Each structure stands twice: as structure tokens, then as C-alpha cells.
Amino acid sequence: MNGAEPAIATHIIAKEYGDVAAVDGVDLRVNPGEIYALLGLNGAGKTTLIRMLVGMVRPTSGSASILGHDIRRATGDLWASVGYLVETPSAYPELTVEENLRLAWRLRRMTDPDRVRTVVEELGLTPYAGRRARDLSLGNTQRLGLAKALLHRPRLLLLDEPSNGLDPAGVVEIRDLLHDLAQRHGVTILLSSHILTEVARLADRIGIIHRGRLIEEVDARGLPARLTRSLLVSTRHNDTAVVALRNAGYQPSYLHTDRIILNEPDAVDRPDEIATLLVEAGCPPTRLQVDAEELETYFLRRVGADRIAP
Ligand code: ATP
């Protein structure tokens, strides 16, 4: 964390819908020039948090500032520096891609006549510039939404699921574009996603949001070191095996009901010793496997959802 004023700061911000705490007291700080990803399952509260930041939803309690401005007192000057894409991008369906962007260009009172063309190129929309918005694929609708968010060269971008609807090549293109904006132009980006592998490649920091709470923040570069290596063990008498392992000083736990997990480096590095121990306890292993945790598993583990069906 550097000493500069954060680009986004929230203070125990919350939003309740009836008895649903969509966002439940989040303190978030996003540093200038940083790409910060909010990662969470469906319904975790990502969209609601972003909607509050852009003034689409009024917080039930707490406060937030973006680019140093309290969002309750935000003026047009602030929105001139902010671009956002929240949920399904909106466009005038009967207007073409270019007409939609020209209209946004006029509404923003922009003066650079080439800007629409360059943003169309940046977003890979040139072949579709003359196509009506209603006839676009989901991926190109998303690109148009991103083009509108980027049109006025904002210093801060808030993007709800920016990869939504994009094919794998499109995901890479948009990732490169966002990297470039952050690295070469110092743009700060807050985005949301439920795909850990994607945000791990894009973000500097990842905030895991679950049931409306920010439960963990991870430096994306440090993520691999956090992934657990484990030894997965199956025997015909797992309860006996667990007791034997506990007696030997390990802390076994169950993965689903049929496998035992050992996370101690001792066990992972010396599966032969575990095998010997289990043989001596009368429950020889039927399977021993060293497993490096996938990023997705890490995420599900952090949100306590590792037993949900894929
Ligand atoms: P997704 O990835 O599915 O978009 P999310 O993390 O963006 O999920 P939110 O859309 O913020 O989650 O929803 C958080 C919770 O708040 C959910 O339980 C949702 O049903 C509820 N919620 C969101 N908007 C409203 C609303 N307008 N009225 C009532 N409940 C809402």
C-alpha cells in the first residue's frame, strides 16, 4: 500500500434489500494505477458494490469516495474522469455501433473528432461499426459497452464482469487492453469477476467477496505461494486412518467423504512414510496422490464452498 490517496475507498459500506445484506460492511481501498479485482460467486455482492460506487444504488449505511470525492456529493466533474460498465451494457438498439458511440461522444461534449474511430479500433469493433446494436453478439455488445466506458479516457474504470460473453480470444484482447491502460496510462481499474484464473492474470490485487463481505485480499503475484499442496489419501477404513494420522501428529481432514487430505509439508514430501504409517495401522492406502491446489479450488476453499457441485 503506498501513501497516495486511494482511487477508491469505502468505509463499512453496506446495502440491504429487505433482510438480504447484499453488501455487508465493506472497507475497500484501491490504489491509483492499480488493477483490483473483486472476486466472488454469483450473488456475492460484487455488482451491488460497484453500483453503489457509480451512484446507481444508494448505500444503506457507510460511505465511499472515488478519486477523493464523496460519492454522495459527486458532480459531473468527477464522472468525466470515471468510466463504468455495470451489468448488461446498454446501447440504443436501432443505432449502429458507431452512432451509439458518436452519441455518447456528443453527450460527453468531447472535442477530439478521431476518438470514436480509435476506441472502435481499440475494442476490435471496426468490422461491426456499421451494425445495429440490437444485431450484435453478446461479446460485441460487451465490447461496445467497454468502448463507451473508455471513450472519454477516464482515469478510473469500474467494470462489472468485463469478460462477460467474450470468447477466449476476446478475453485475452480485453485483458491486454486493460493491462495497457493501467501500465501505460496509469488508469485505475476496479473490476468484478467470478473467474479466478482470469483475474489472477489481470489484477494486481484480488479481493474475495462472499455473502456481502470482503473476506480476503490477495496480492495476485503472491497467489501461487498460497496454493496448498496436499496429499490425498484413500483407504478402505478412512475413520481408522484418520485416527492413526492424528496420533502421529498430522491434521487430516476429509475431502468429500471418501478421501483424506493432509496439508503438512512432511506428508506431501514423504508420501512413502504416510503409506508405511497406514499399513502399520491396518488400513493400507488404496490411493495416494500429491495434489497442487488449482486456483479455483483455492477460491472455493476461501469462501467455504469447496463441497459445492461443479
Ligand atoms: P452475480 O455474479 O450473480 O452478478 P453479484 O456478486 O454481482 O452476483 P449482487 O448482484 O450484488 O451479486 O447480489 C447480491 C445479493 O443481493 C444477492 O442475494 C441478490 O439476490 C441481492 N440483490 C441484488 N440486487 C437486488 C435488488 N435490486 N433487490 C433485491 N435483492 C437484490
10-residue mean pLDDT profile of the chain (310 residues): values are 78 96 97 94 93 94 95 85 86 94 93 93 94 92 93 95 88 90 93 86 93 92 80 94 96 87 90 95 94 77 59
- Given a contact cutoff of 8 angstroms between Cβ atoms, the answer to whether 232 and 261 are in contact is yes
Among 46, 164, 191, the mutation site with the greatest number of ligand 1 atoms within 8 A of its Cβ is: 46
Residue nearest to atom 19 of ligand 1 (CA): 43
Instruction: Give the pLDDT of residue 307.
Output: 45
| Cβ of 40 below 6 Å from ligand 1 | yes
Q: Where in the chain is the domain with CATH 3.40.50.300?
A: 8-224
What's residue 3's pLDDT?
A: 52
Please, where in the chain does CATH 3.30.70.270 lie? 229-292
Task: Please report the beta strands in the chain, taking only residues with DSSP state E, as ranges in sequence order.
Answer: 8-17, 20-26, 29-30, 35-39, 61-66, 69-70, 82-85, 156-160, 188-193, 205-210, 213-219, 229-235, 253-255, 259-262, 285-292
CA 246/CA 8 separation, integer angstroms: 47
CB-ligand 1 contact for 17 (6 Å cutoff): yes
CATH for 229-292? Answer: 3.30.70.270
44 touches ligand 1 (CB under 6 Å)? yes
- The predicted pLDDT at position 251 comes to 94
Rounded to the nearest angstrom, the distance between the alpha carbon of 95 and the centre of ligand 1 is 30
Q: What pLDDT does 49 receive?
A: 97
Give the pLDDT score at 309.
38
Fold of 8-224: Rossmann fold (3.40.50)
pTM higher than 0.75: yes
Length of the chain: 310
Query: To test ligand 1's pocket by mutation, which of 13, 15, 17, 158 has the most ligand atoms within 8 angstroms of CB?
Result: 17
Is residue 56 in contact with ligand 1, taking CB distance under 6 Å?
no
- Cβ of residue 43 lying under 6 Å from some atom of ligand 1: yes
Residue 29 pairs with which residues in a beta bridge? Answer: 9
In DSSP terms, 287 is beta-bridged to 234
pLDDT of residue 113: 86
Dihedral sign for Cα atoms in the order 269, 242, 256, 39: negative
Residue 257: CA count within 13 A, CB half-sphere:
0
Distance 53 CA to ligand 1 centre (A): 15
